[in-house]
Structure 1
Amino acid sequence: MPAPSRPFRVRWGLGSENAPRAPTHVDDYLIDVACWGSWSQHFARVKIRRKTDGKVIFPFEGAAVVGPFSSAGEAREKGEQFARDLVYADIKNPE
């Protein structure tokens, strides 16, 4: 079988089965929380991407840093809570 002349590409919006859908559940998001810092100050690095359309909803340009906190455990916990709050807000009112 000969190789196709052009690479195969999936494009959104060509059919209703390929169209991105609005997120409805926390499982529609990829959430990554990590902590970084020094001995006395720790920060959370949060990244949230919608699985339904691939859009990164956090961090965005100009987004505030999550922290500082006194321990790495507290930074991770607060980062996870911050991510959950953003996800629930995005489910309620997606862009």
Structure 2
Amino acid sequence: MSHRPKRAILRWSEATSENEKGGDDYAVYASYRPSLGRFIGTLKVIRQADARLLYPFSGAEDIGPYASKDAAKEAAVKLGEDIVRGDLLNPEL
């Protein structure tokens, strides 16, 4: 039996309303990893139009720790959504 973390791979349009423009240009990969009996969220956010990695960046803090796998993954997904919203409002060129 494999105990590998399940990864949430979301197209931004799946996580937001259809009215937001530009949302298809992002990929959010959220998961978790074990750490000393707790769980740390893992996240990768990519702007697909230019293949720019928005998260993680140098100096990014850990997401957590959390008591459960689900809480760590949910926190990673929420942070990913916040990063995409922020980039849509103020794109970093």
TM-score normalized by structure 1? 0.70
Question: Which SS does the other structure have where 2:85 is aligned?
Answer: helix
Indicate yes or no: 2:63 matched with 1:66. Answer: yes
Question: Which structure is higher in helix share?
Answer: 2
Greater radius of gyration (CA): 1
Matches for 1:1-95 after TM superposition, within 5 Å: 24-38=21-35, 40-95=37-92
User: Could you list the runs of 5+ residues in structure 2 that have no partner in the other structure?
Assistant: 1-20
In 2: Cα distance, 1:62 partner to 1:39 partner? 21
Identity of aligned residues (%): 31
Shift of 1:68: 0.3
Cα deviations by residue, 1:26-51 (Å, 9 ceiling, x for unpaired): 22101101111147310111001101
Instruction: Quote the Cα distance in structure 2 between the aligned partners of 1:79 and 1:29.
Output: 15
Moved over 3 A (4+): none
RMSD, aligned CA:
1.3
TM-score (normalised: structure 2): 0.72
8 A contact 1:40–1:71 mirrored in 2: no
Q: Distance in 2 between matches of 1:39 and 1:64?
A: 17
Are the counterparts in 2 of residues 46 and 58 from structure 1 also a CA contact under 8 Å? Answer: yes
In proportion to residue count, which structure has more strand?
A: 2
